A and B are shown apart, each in its own frame.
Chain A
C-alpha cells in the first residue's frame, strides 16, 4: 500500500522554479532512495514533503492530502525529517535534543530515549554535552535519533553520510536498514553515495533539474548500463 505519493509536486524559491512536477511513491515499509547531481532538487523534494517550503501539486500521506499543511502538523501525522546538514540544536544538550524530538508526544518517552542510547552508545556518553560540541558523525546520529523520537511512520533522511568517515557511514546505514527491516519504518533517503544507497534501497528515483528522469527497482537501475555511465560514475 502506498504510504507517500506525490503527483506533479512543484516548488520554487522566489522566481526560480526548482521542482517541475515530481512523482514519487513510497510504499509502507519500503526504503526508497533519491539520487541526483548537486542542485537537482533532492533537498527541495524532501522539504516539499515535510512542509518546510511552499509547494503545489499533490502530496498524499497515508491517504490524506498534506500539500497545504504546515510543517508542524505534518510531523504529527508521522513524517519525520532529518534535514541536510543535520540541524541539531547546538545550544541544547544531547538529551534535550532528543526530548524536543518527542515534542509532539504526550506519552512517556523515557523508554525511547533509552532505546536510541542503546542504538547509539556514543550519544549516551555525551548526553549532557551541548550538541554543538559533538563531532559531525555524532551530530548526524543525534539528528536521526531525534527524528525517531517522534515515532514516525516515514523518515525523510537527507544525505546522512555527508562529511562522515566511510566506517561511520556504514554504521549509519546498518542502523537505517535495521529500522526498515525490523521495525517496518518507511524511509525516503537522499544519498550521494549511489553504490551504498543501491545496496539498502528497494526502489530508486533519479532526479535531474527538478524532474524524475528515471526510476525503478534498485537492481534494474544498478543494472542499466547507460544510467550507470551517466549518473552513477561507471
Chain B
C-alpha cells in the first residue's frame, strides 16, 4: 500500500493528473457526444447543484428539508417571469432568483428550524406540497399563468458566448446548457467548499453533532441554521434557473417543482454520500445515468429484460431505479463517496500534513 504525505510531490502529482483527466472528460463530452447525451449531462448538473444545496442543510448541519423543490421552483419561476414578462437577459435572473430564494428560505427557516427531527421533515414536506398549489392559485395567475405554466426562453434568446463559437438550434442549446450548468456547478461547489472548510463549516458540523455543546461554544445555533438554510435555498434556486433555461418551460407539475423533486435531491445526496463535498456530484451522475438507462427497459420487448418486464405496458423504469438505489445503499451505506474512499484507502493513504502549531 502506498503512503503519501499531504502536500508532497507525489500528492501534487496525483492531484494534477486527476484534475487533468477530469478537465479532459469535461471538454470531451460536449465536443464529441451526441446532443441527447450532452443534454443529459446538463440536467445532471442542475440536479447536482440542488443536491449540493440540500447537503449543506441536511448533510452538514443535520437539518432535514423536504421543501427544497419549492426553492428549485422559485428559481425556475423567477427566471421565467423575469425573462418573459420583463425582458431580462437570462444571466441576471440568477442573481434575482438567488436573492429571492435566500429571503424566502430565511423566512421559512426562522420559525421552522426551531423544531427538530420528524416534525421538521413534516413541516418542510408541507412547504413542498403547498408550493405547486400556490402556483396554480387563481389570484396568482397573473404572475404564474396557473396550471398551464410559462413558456419563457426561446431558442434564439440564448446569449452568445464568444469562446464557444456560434451556437445554433437544438445542438447549440444543449452545448450552451452544458457549459452554463458546469459554470454554476463549479461556483456552487467552490462556495460550499469555502464554507465547509471555514469557521462556519466547523460550527455547522458541530450543530449536527451536538446542538447544546455547539451553543456552549458560543455558536448562535438558530442564526447559523437559518442563514445556512437561506444560503442553501438560494443555491437550489440557481439550479431551478438552469432548469428553466435548459427546457424553456416551467409548470407547476414539473418533476422537480413538486415533492418528487425534493425526494430526488435527497436520493442523490444520500446515494452520493451525505456530508461530503463531492458526494452529490457522483450521486447526480449515477442517478441521471440510471434514470436514462432504465427508462428504455420494458418498452421494447426483446431479450431477457423484455421477457421479465414485457408483461406491463407501463415502463418499469421507476421500479428498477428504486431497486438499483436500494442495492447501492446496501453495498455503500455511507454513499458512493464513502465506498470510493474505502477503496482508495486500500491502495494508498494520504498522511495529513503536520499542523501542530509552531510558536
Residues of A within 8 A of B (CB): 50-52, 70-72, 75-76, 80-81, 83, 87-92, 95-96, 99-101, 103-104, 110-111, 113-114, 117, 124, 127-128, 146, 150
Contacts and interface: CB of A to CB of B under 8 A. Distances in A.
A81 B216 contact: yes
B218 interface: yes
Contacts of B139: none
A72 B209 CA distance: 17
Nearest to A79: B216
B23 interface: no
Contacts of A50: 216
A87 B214 CA distance: 9
B169 interface: no
5 contacts: A76-B218, A87-B210, A92-B202, A100-B203, A101-B217
A112 to B, nearest CB: 9
Interface string B99-128: 000000000000000000000000000000
Contacts of A70: 215, 220
A118 B359 CA distance: 12
B98 interface: no
B213 A89 contact: yes
B206 interface: yes
Interface residues of B, number: 25
Contact of B215 (A72, A114, A124): A72
A110 B355 CA distance: 10
Nearest to A124: B356
A100 B209 contact: no
A81 B217 CA distance: 8
Given A87-B210, A87-B213, A92-B209, A100 B352 contact: no
A72 B208 CA distance: 17
A88 B359 CA distance: 26
A89 B359 contact: no
B216 A100 contact: no
B292 interface: no
B212 interface: yes
Given A89-B209, A91-B205, A127 B355 contact: yes
B341 interface: no
A103 B356 contact: no
A87 B213 CA distance: 6
A83 B212 CA distance: 9
A114 B220 CA distance: 27
A72 B357 contact: no
Report, nearest first, the 5 A-B pairs whose CB atoms are least far apart. Answer: A87-B213, A104-B218, A110-B357, A71-B215, A75-B218
A91 B217 contact: no
Interface in B143-169: none
Contact of B218 (A72, A87, A110, A127): A72
Contact of A103 (B205, B217, B275, B355): B217
B263 interface: no
A169 B210 CA distance: 25
A217 B205 CA distance: 42
A117 B213 CA distance: 21
B209 A90 contact: yes
Contact of B216 (A75, A110, A128): A75
Contacts of B199: 99-100, 103
A96 B216 contact: no
Nearest to B199: A103
Given A89-B205, A92-B209, A103-B199, A83 B356 contact: no
Contacts of A111: 357, 359
Interface in B216-246: 216-221
Contacts of A146: 217
B216 A52 contact: yes
Nearest to B206: A89
Contact of B220 (A72, A88, A90, A124): A72
B359 A87 contact: no
Given A71-B216, A89-B213, A100-B214, 19 more contacts: A88-B210, A89-B205, A89-B206, A91-B208, A92-B205, A92-B206, A92-B209, A95-B355, A96-B202, A100-B219, A101-B217, A103-B203, A103-B218, A104-B217, A110-B357, A114-B359, A128-B352, A150-B217, A150-B218
A52 B215 contact: yes
Contacts of B212: 52, 71, 83, 87
